[in-house]
Amino acid sequence: MITREVTVTNRAGLHTRPASMIVRTASQFDADFYIEKDGYEINGKSIIGVMTLAAEQDAKLKLHFDGEDEEEAATAIEELFESGFGEVK
Amino acid sequence: MPHQKKTFRKESITVPFMVKQLRTAVGVEVEEVNDVDPSQHKVIESNLHRPGLALAGYVELFTYQRVQILGNTENQFLRDLPAEKQREAFGHLVQFPMPCIFLTDSNRLGDDLVAMATEAEIPVYRTAVPSTQFMALLRDFLYDQFAPQQTLHGSLVDVYGIGLMLTGKSGIGKSEVALDLVERGHRLVADDVVIVTKKEEQVLMGSGTDLVQHFMEIRGLGLLDVRAMFGIRAIRFQKRVEVIVRMELWDSDEEYTRLGMVDSHETVLGVKLPVVKVPITPGKNITVICEVIAMTHLLRHYGYDPAEVFSERLAQRIREKGSRVPSRGTEYFEHDYE
């Protein structure tokens, strides 16, 4: 299992569109994927779950990956956060 | 190492929130005694304190951060003192930044003492409920507020009064089964994200999140609002979690229970729950299976275990000896006129 820490960089936060991008990307991998915010943890492959984080700009999240392709999954998801989901920062 | 689920809890609640919940959810009448803005006062733990020793002057280990209860004993103690000593005793108390004071059993403080509390910006409330009863209610409420919580991925549905927690990998069809159960008249508690809290020993309560409530996502359709579509009869806001139904793809190497239903147990927040593994195969109606799981759980709860009853019947037959072939369930077929 690996854990990565990321920050929400886009101004609008994790609203519907970024949330669905995360879920769509995560679902391409077999590895289990959980997102944690202040101890509250959800399944990163569930769109409703990701949206319940209601993560705003600058929110810090922990990403947990567990499975054979965890490295690839972590890299792909991290890139999404770094790019700010292609939105205004 | 398998992923360990995280737990979280509230750090604090505000005094106005606590008082509002006492009035509405708990159903206790509480009135304000003084005019202090309580919005910045926070409660940070579930224990209560009766500050008898603090009134007497011993404040070394005074747990002033707790909600303070002044019952008959404390009030009688104050009343028996001369006015000057009353102010001195009460002064020991209000020198500390406590969240609030409750006067139970319709007790009243003298005007000068109320003024001291107001001066120290400590909100004071009064209730007619006797101390022990009030403390039991308040402690139960605070215990619930500060209990560890955890999120579970899956759907929680009330099926015939039994809280079934449908779990399984993403995309296996938990939401679809939940929707089908709602269609058949059962009640959805939450889909996808269920927040569970341990209420008391061996009781695990579940609810949705305040944001999502009864929305669900069905792949191919998008977001649905179950309450708007099916109405109030189709939902509930909280339910005890009683059985975990684990949906998984059929695996020919896996051993599935053939007789006893419950394969194993899983412990969530220290509460042991039965797990029923349901293999998904084409043509299998999982909704009906879920109803049967709930009904069997009910039967077991009332002391009837079909697997036990049947094996006892079998053992009885074997004990009877005199080996014979299985006979018809009916001795004599009358005619069947249709």
| SS3 state at B150 | strand
Q: How confident is the model over B197-222, as a mean pLDDT? A: 90
Strands (E), chain B: 7-8, 13-14, 31-32, 42-43, 48-49, 67-70, 101-103, 124-126, 149-153, 155-159, 162-167, 187-190, 193-200, 203-207, 215-218, 222-225, 239-240, 243-249, 264-268, 271-280
**Looking at the structure, do residues B71 and B211 belong to the same domain, yes or no?**
no
φ, ψ of residue B63 in degrees (nearest 5)? -85, 70
| pLDDT above 70 (res B261) | no
Task: Give every CB contact of residue B194 below 8 A, 6+ residues apart in sequence.
Answer: B151, B152, B153, B154, B155, B156, B165, B206, B207, B208, B241
- For residue B87, is it within any domain? yes
**Looking at the structure, do residues B135 and B113 belong to the same domain, yes or no?**
yes
Q: How confident is the model over B101-123, as a mean pLDDT? A: 94
Domain of B73, CATH number, reads 3.40.1390.20
Asked if A47 lies within 8 A of B217 by C-beta distance, the reply is yes
**Looking at the structure, do residues B161 and B101 belong to the same domain, yes or no?**
no
- For residue B91, is it within any domain? yes
- For residue B289, is it within any domain? yes
**Looking at the structure, do residues B249 and B110 belong to the same domain, yes or no?**
no
Find the catalytic residue in B49, B66, B174, B239: B174
Interface predicted TM-score of the whole assembly (ipTM), two decimals:
0.83
Kindly list the residues of chain A whose beta carbon comes within 8 Å of any beta carbon in chain B: 1, 27, 32, 34, 36, 38-43, 45-49, 51-52, 54, 64, 66
Q: Which residue of B has its CA nearest to A64?
A: B3
* pLDDT for position B200: 78
- For residue B326, is it within any domain? no
**Looking at the structure, do residues B83 and B222 belong to the same domain, yes or no?**
no
- For residue B7, is it within any domain? no
**Looking at the structure, do residues B163 and B297 belong to the same domain, yes or no?**
yes
Domain count, chain B: 2
Q: Could you tell me if B196 and B177 are in contact, meaning their C-beta atoms sit under 8 angstroms apart?
A: no
Interior CA angle at B303 toward B298 and B307, to 5°?
85
Q: Which candidate from A27, A51, A66 shows the least CB-CB separation from B3? A: A66
Residue that is last in its domain, among B130, B145, B160: B145
Domain span holding position B156: 149-301
Domain of B158, CATH number, reads 3.40.50.300
CA gap B96, B193 in Å, rounded: 41
Asked if A51 lies within 8 A of B216 by C-beta distance, the reply is no
Task: Give every CB contact of residue A19 below 8 A, 6+ residues apart in sequence.
Answer: A47, A50, A51
**Looking at the structure, do residues B198 and B257 belong to the same domain, yes or no?**
yes
Mutate to test the interface with A, among B1, B3, B155, B210 (most CBs of A within 10 A): B3
| SS3 state at B13 | strand
| pLDDT above 80 (res B338) | no
Task: Give every CB contact of residue B162 below 8 A, 6+ residues apart in sequence.
Answer: B242, B243, B293, B294, B297, B298
DSSP code, position B63: -
Find the catalytic residue in B66, B192, B239, B246: B192
pLDDT tens for residues B157-198?
Answer: 999 999 999 999 888 889 999 999 999 999 999 999 999 999
pLDDT tens for residues A24-79?
Answer: 999 999 999 999 998 889 999 988 999 999 999 999 999 999 999 999 999 999 99
pLDDT tens for residues B222-232?
Answer: 889 999 999 99
- For residue B97, is it within any domain? yes
**Looking at the structure, do residues B289 and B153 belong to the same domain, yes or no?**
yes
pLDDT tens for residues B134-164?
Answer: 999 999 999 999 998 999 999 999 999 999 9
**Looking at the structure, do residues B165 and B296 belong to the same domain, yes or no?**
yes
Query: The tokens of B80 are what?
Result: 């028996």
Find the catalytic residue in A9, A12, A15, A47: A15
Q: Which residue of A has its CA nearest to B219?
A: A47
Residue that is last in its domain, among B99, B124, B145: B145
Confirm whether B153 is a catalytic residue.
Answer: yes
Q: Mind telling me how many Å the CA of B52 is from chain A's nearest CA? A: 38
Which residues pair with residue B235 across a beta bridge? B188
Asked if A43 lies within 8 A of B171 by C-beta distance, the reply is no
Residue that is last in its domain, among B111, B145, B179: B145
Q: Mind telling me how many Å the CA of B220 is from chain A's nearest CA? A: 13
**Looking at the structure, do residues B116 and B164 belong to the same domain, yes or no?**
no
Query: The tokens of B144 are what?
Result: 């619930």
**Looking at the structure, do residues B59 and B17 belong to the same domain, yes or no?**
yes
Asked if A48 lies within 8 A of B216 by C-beta distance, the reply is yes
**Looking at the structure, do residues B99 and B160 belong to the same domain, yes or no?**
no
**A40-43/A32-37 β-pairing:** antiparallel
Q: Could you tell me if B15 and B37 are in contact, meaning their C-beta atoms sit under 8 angstroms apart?
A: no
- For residue B330, is it within any domain? no
User: Band of the pLDDT at B291, cuts 50, 70, 90?
Assistant: very high
Q: Mind telling me how many Å the CA of B325 is from chain A's nearest CA? A: 53
Q: What is the pTM of this model?
A: 0.82
Confirm whether B92 is a catalytic residue.
Answer: no
Q: How confident is the model over B242-261, as a mean pLDDT? A: 81
- For residue B262, is it within any domain? yes
